[in-house]
Amino acid sequence: MSKEKVVLAYSGGLDTTAVIPWLKETFGYEVICCCVDCGQGEELDGLEERAKLSGASKLYIENIVDEFCDDFIMPCVKAGAVYENKYLLGTSMARPAISKKLVEIARKEGAVAICHGATGKGNDQIRFELSIRALAPDIKIIAPWRMTDLWTMQSREDEIEYCRKHGIDLPFDTKHSYSRDRNLWHISHEGLELEDPSVEPNYDDLLVLTVPPEKAPDKPEYVTMTFEEGIPKSLNGKEMKVSEIITELNALGGKHGIGIIDIVENRVVGMKSRGVYETPGGTILMAAHEQLEELCLDRATYEVKKEIGNKLAQVVYEGKWFTPLCDALRAFVDVTQQYVTGEVKFKLYKGNITKAGETSPYSLYNESLASFTTGDLYDHHDADGFINLFGLPLKVRAMKMQELSKENQK
């Protein structure tokens, strides 16, 4: 009789490596590892050998970089979705994309369960599980770190010892490594000195994608981008896919110290956590998109879209990608992007992105209206009536307050 199968969200790190023998030992499952490539780069090297050594029967490495960029990153870019005014949602956007692929592999393999290695304190457990429940409510979810009666390991040292007892001798360092999550959009860092908010990050040891601004070149670099309906189409005159543009922007931003943030954020589970995020290409792309958008959107739409962007950021951060609300918010954003087409130019210099001009066939900027000289479309005298009406509530209230003040003085 064949064993039941479980699909493990596999990164190749210590946590998910230890989970493989634990799943076999605890549940008797056949373990099928699935590593979803969202642009982790060299982190994928040697994964197949490590998974098989740890007892997995099979390893899928699924490249979804283009899907991640087109279907998950770009909706957030178009929305201007930024959590708590700083975090560009690098991990938050990736988790539903990964979950979707995990469900596909589970269906293909006939697996009864999906396992993830997220801890009981973090946001990722919520993002994985809400996505999996929305896509496959019949598939069981296993979260070892919450199964304290079965998962007895409480530290990286415990996990290393567990692996060694099962014949898995891997060179993981327990004392000198940050907890990191990387994809094409960003890399996050937690742990070590970052656990104390009073301590400055050790950027010389920490940074992977970028250099500190003070070590960036002393000469600025100009960049030109084009957009069609809110989607980037070319970089410095060369047409490319979104994933290729982000890759190039990562190199440019990293060179000039762009996109480093140190944030104490409010996790979904109720605690505050401190982390450093590097998002060089994403920071540039978001700024370039906003630069063009302010030229093309009318005031009322722009105001509401800001609110929608903030709401979408919260929804994505909380793992609610596959929900009617998320669909509706993205649909609103798509309507606003119909005329966000044109070209933007900016310069990068020591951590800064400075505008250097923008054009659009749908620009709502009218030089005749904006000029200090009187044009045909604007009569300065029209402002008299407008101000009278616009300020009428203030005047009425002031008159009432004067009237009450006089009565009180009698």
CATH assignment of the domain containing 86: 3.40.50.620
Full domain range(s) for residue 130 = 5-165
pLDDT band (50, 70, 90) for residue 355: very high
- Residue range 287-300: mean pLDDT, rounded: 97
pLDDT band (50, 70, 90) for residue 227: very high
User: In this structure, are 348 and 234 located in the same domain?
Assistant: yes
Q: Report how far residue 125's alpha carbon sits from residue 171's, in angstroms, rounded to the nearest whole number.
A: 26
User: In this structure, are 240 and 130 located in the same domain?
Assistant: no
- 215 DSSP 8-state letter: G
User: In this structure, are 34 and 77 located in the same domain?
Assistant: yes
372 domain residue, yes or no = no
User: In this structure, are 209 and 143 located in the same domain?
Assistant: no
Q: What is the pLDDT of residues 14-44, one digit of tens each?
A: 889 999 999 999 999 999 999 999 999 888 8
User: In this structure, are 354 and 226 located in the same domain?
Assistant: yes
- Residue range 247-274: mean pLDDT, rounded: 97
Mean residue pLDDT across the chain = 94
381 domain residue, yes or no = no
- Residue range 218-237: mean pLDDT, rounded: 98
- Name the least confident of 2-16, 99-113, 228-242, 326-340: 2-16
Give catalytic residues, as residue numbers: 15, 95, 124, 179
CATH assignment of the domain containing 260: 3.90.1260.10
Full-model pTM: 0.93
User: In this structure, are 217 and 79 located in the same domain?
Assistant: no
Residue with tokens 């590593």: 35
User: In this structure, are 25 and 71 located in the same domain?
Assistant: yes
- How many domains does one find in the chain? 2
CA quadruple 293, 294, 295, 296: dihedral positive or negative? positive
267 domain residue, yes or no = yes
- Residue range 241-257: mean pLDDT, rounded: 98
Q: Report how far residue 235's alpha carbon sits from residue 68's, in angstroms, rounded to the nearest whole number.
A: 20
328 domain residue, yes or no = no
What pLDDT score was predicted for residue 407? 87
Burial 315-335 (b: 16+ CB within 10 A, else e): bbbbbbbbeeebeebbebbee
Question: Of 105, 134, 165, which marks where a domain is finished?
Answer: 165
331 domain residue, yes or no = no
391 domain residue, yes or no = no
User: In this structure, are 143 and 190 located in the same domain?
Assistant: no
Q: What is the pLDDT of residues 154-183, one digit of tens each?
A: 888 899 899 999 998 776 665 557 889 999
User: In this structure, are 90 and 120 located in the same domain?
Assistant: yes
3-state secondary structure of 337: coil
pLDDT band (50, 70, 90) for residue 360: very high
